[in-house]
Structure 1
Amino acid sequence: MSPSPPHPAPERRIAADRLQAFCQAALQRAGMAAPDASVAAEVLVTASLRGIDTHGIALLPGYIDRLRRGEVNARPRMTLSQGSPSTAVLDADNGLGVVAACRAMGHAIELARREGLGWVGVRRSTHFGAGAYYAMMALEHDMVGLVGSNGPPVMAPHGGARRAMHNLPLAAAIPTFEEPPIVMDFAMSVVAFRRVVQAAREGRPIPLGWALDAEGRPTTDAAAASQGALLPLGHKGYALGILVDVLAGVLSGAAFGADVREKSGTGAPQDTGHFALAIRVDAFMEPAAFKRRTDALVRHLRSTPPQDPAAPVRVPGERGAATAARRRREGIPVPSGLYERLRALAAELGVVAPA
C-alpha cells in the first residue's frame, strides 16, 4: 500500500501587532528609515486585516528584494511643489509607493482643511499597494477620500490583443455615522494580476475571460496569462482606466500608458503616478447630517430584496470591516507557503520571525 501524500501545513494565525513589528523591522534592515518603515508596515498589515491578502503582507518579500537591489530608493528625499491653494505635486524620488501615497493623502487632507478640498498628484513613485488605506485616511477628518494609481502595463485595452496599460486601481472612502464607512477599492481589470500569478505558482487554471496569452488568445492557463494580458472590465472599465491614468499619470507629470517601467534601475525611475483627493464635508453641509444621510443610503440599499436569500445585498466596505474585526480577534491567516517565505526572509535579515 503506497503511503498517503503529505498534507500541506495549515495556515497560521498571527496577531496584527506582531506582523506589523516584523514588517517594520524587515523594512528597516532593508535600509528604510524607521518612520517610513512604520508607515509601510501599517499599510501592508491593514490590507491583510481587511482581507486584501494579495496586497497585504504578501507584498513584503518583493518590496524587500527591490529595496535591497536598489530598484526602489530606501531613503528618498520626497519634495512637494504647491500648484495652487488646493493643489500640489509630490516627487517621490523613486521611494516606496506606499509611503508616497500616505504623504500625498496627508497633504491633501491639510489642503482640504484650509481650502475645502485638496488634490495632490505624485510622480516618480513605485507600486502603491492597496488604495483603500489612503482613501480611508480622510475618514477621521470628516472628509471623503479618493485615490488612484497607474503602473506598468498588465492589461489590454478593450478589444486589444496585448497589454498596453496598467489595471489602474481606484479607491474611495465615504464617512458614515453608525454604519461601516463606504469603502471601495478596485482595479479596472476583471481580476487582479497577482491572482493570476498566484494561480500560476500553484499550478491552477484560471476562469476563461480573465486574461489573454502572449498571442492575444483567451486562455485558462495561468502561466500563459501571466505572460499575456489581463482583460478590462468591458468598455466601461477600459474608459474608467483611461480616466485614472490621466489623473494619476498625465496630470501629475509621471509616466503613463506603456511608459511606466516594470522596474527601476541604472538611474531611471519606474515613474509610477498616483493622485490623492480629500473633500471636506463641512464645506458642503454639517458633517453629522452628511453621515446620517450616507447611513440612510446604506440602509436603503441593504434593504433591497436579494436575488438569493443566502446572499443579502451589501455595501462596499462591509465585508472589509467585518473581516478586520474578526482578524483582530483571531489573528491574520498566513498561508504556509507565505509563512515559510517570511521565515526565510527573517533569517536572511537577522530579525525575529513573526509567530
Structure 2
Amino acid sequence: MLEARALTALREAGADEKSATATTRAMLHASRLGVDSHGIRLTSFYADSLRTGQVNANPVFKPHRTAAASAMLDADHGLGHAAAYAGMELACEIAKDSGIGAVGITHSTHYGAAGAYALAGAEAGFISLSTTNADSLVALHDGTARFHGTNPIAAAAPVPGQKPWLLDMATSAIPYNRILLFRSLQRELPPDVTADISGAPTRDPHLAEILTPLGGRDFGFKGAGLAGLVTILSAVLTGSTPDHLVVPMNPEDGNATRHDIGHFCLAIDPERFIGREGYDALITQYLAGLRASPGSAPDTPMLAPGDREWATMEEREMLGIPVDPTTAAFLKLI
C-alpha cells in the first residue's frame, strides 16, 4: 500500500514514470532498512518540490563518456533518485569493461538515502560508492554558521550467499531530516548534535536549525573534513554548486529557483583485481572473523555495517513499516 500511495502522490505532483518509480524505490529502501528520516516520509516534500517547479518533473538525462573509465551525466534538475540509479548503473557498465567506473552527476537534486545507490551497485556484483553534496546545514568544526551539507558517504560490497556489506553515513552528527522526523514525533534530540540559528546548542527539534559535524565537540574536524571530501567529489569534480552556494530545496518558501547539486558514483569490479573467486573467499573470511570478534559482554554480537539494517528489514517485512502521523495523513493512511 505504501508503494502505491507514494507513486500516486508523485504522479499527481507531475513526476514522470521514471522519476516517480525511482524515487519510491529509494524511499522504500530507506523505510525497509529503518532509515525513516529518508524514507517514505519524504513523499510530501518531493511532491511539493515538483509542484513549485523547483524540481523538474520531466527531466531528460544527458550521459556522455569522457574516458575509458569515466563519464558525466546531466540530470536536468530532476529528482535525484532517478539520476543516481542511472549513474550507478552506468558506472557498473563501465567497470565491466575497465575494472573501475566513475560517473559524475551534475544539475541534480536531493536523492534521499545514499545507501540505496551503493546497494544497487553491490547487487550488480561491484564494490560501489555513492556521494552527494547538499545545501548548507552543517557548521564547520567550532563554527556557528551553516557551511557544508549533510554530505553522505555510502559504500557497499557484494558478499556471496549473504546480504551485502553496507555502510551509509552522513558526515554530520545526524541528518537534517532527523530533526523534521523528531518534530513530527514530538521527541527531544540527542545532546550535542544540533544548534539553534545563533549557533547555541539545543535539543529542541523546533529550535534546531544547524547541525554539528560528525565527531562532536572534540573531534568534529573529522566529520568536517569528510564533508569537504564529499563536496570535492560531488560538486567540484562534477561542476555543480558547492554547498554554501546551493539554493535550499525548500518548497515551503515558494522559491521556484532550481535546486542544483551533484553526485558521484564509483563501481569497482573485483574480477579485475584479485578475481571473483579470490574476492568471494576473502570477503567471506573477513566478515566471519569480524562477527566472531569478542564483544564487551558475552552476549554482545559484533555487527558488520548493514547487519542492523538487514535485521530491521526482516522485522519490518513481518510487522510492517511504521509511518509518522504527518506522513500517514498526507498519504491518506488515516
When normalised by structure 1's length, the TM-score is 0.87
1:239 aligns with 2:225: yes
Describe how 1:335-346 pairs up with structure 2 within 5 A.
Answer: 335-343=324-332
Q: Where does structure 1 differ by over 6 angstroms across 4 or more consecutive aligned residues?
A: 264-267
* Paired residue total: 327
1:231 and 1:117 mapped to 2: Cα distance? 31
Residue 249 of structure 2 is matched in structure 1 by 263
Counterparts of 1:157-168 in structure 2 under 5 Å?
157-168=140-151
Classify 1:206/1:35 alpha carbon distance in 2 versus 1 (closer, same or farther; 3 Å): closer
Q: For 2:317 and 2:183, how far apart are their aligned partners in 1?
A: 31
User: How far apart in 1 are the matches of 2:292 and 2:211?
Assistant: 39
The one of 20, 43, 46 aligned to 2:26: 43
**Paired residues of 1:122 and 1:252 also in contact (CA < 8 A):** yes
| Distance (Å, rounded) in 1 between the aligned partners of 2:55 and 2:110 | 10
Q: Structure 2: how far apart are the matches of 1:231 and 1:87?
A: 31
Structure 1 residues 29 and 203: alpha-carbon distance in aligned structure 2, compared to 1, 3 A threshold: closer
Change in Cα spacing, 1:204 to 1:50, as seen in structure 2 (3 Å) is closer
Alignment of 1:305 onto 2:305: no
Name the counterpart of 2:234. Answer: 248
Structure number with greater Rg is 1
Aligned equivalents of 2:255, 2:201: Cα separation in 1: 36
Equivalent residue runs for 1:102-117 within 5 Å: 102-117=85-100
Q: Matched residues, percent identical?
A: 34
Distance in 2 between residues matched to 1:333 and 1:199, nearest whole Å: 14
Cα separation, 1, equivalents of 2:257 and 2:325? 36
Give the 5 Å matches for 1:107-256. Answer: 107-226=90-209, 228-233=210-215, 234-256=220-242
Contact 1:212 1:231 in 2 (8 A): no
- After the TM superposition, which of the residue ranges 174-183 and 153-162 deviates more from structure 2? 174-183
* Shift in Å, 1:44: 1.1
Equivalence for 1:3: none
Question: 1:92–1:142: structure 2 CA closer, same or farther, 3 Å change rule?
Answer: same
- Which deviates more, 258-267 or 155-164? 258-267
Q: Quick one: which amino acid aligns to residue 170 of structure 1?
A: I
Gaps of 5+ in 2: none
* Deviation, structure 1 residue 231: 3.6
Structure 2 counterpart of 1:64, which letter?
A
Rounded Cα–Cα distance in structure 2 between residues aligned with 1:44 and 1:266: 24
5+ long unaligned stretches in structure 1:
1-17, 344-352
- C-alpha deviation, 1:330, in angstroms: 3.0
1:287 aligned partner? 276
Q: Check conservation: 1:157, 1:232, Cα contact below 8 A.
A: no
1:10 alignment partner in structure 2: none
Deviation at residue 241 of structure 1 after TM alignment: 1.0
Render the CA deviation track for 1:65-84: whole Å, top value 9, x for unaligned: 11111111000111113211
CA distance in 2 between counterparts of 1:247 and 1:99 reads 19
Matched residue, 1:331: 320
CA 1:99/1:108 → structure 2, altered by over 3 Å: closer, same or farther?
A: same
TM-aligned CA deviation for residue 267 of structure 1: 7.2
Aligned to 2:49: 66
CA RMSD of aligned residues (A): 1.9
- Give the TM-score normalised by the residue count of structure 2: 0.92
Bigger Cα displacement from structure 2, 157-166 vs 195-204:
195-204
Structure 1 residues 166 and 69, CA gap change in structure 2 (3 angstroms)? same
Give distance in 1, aligned partners of 2:300 and 2:246.
40
1:219 alignment partner, SS class: coil
In 2, the alpha carbon distance for the partners of 1:122 and 1:35 equals: 17
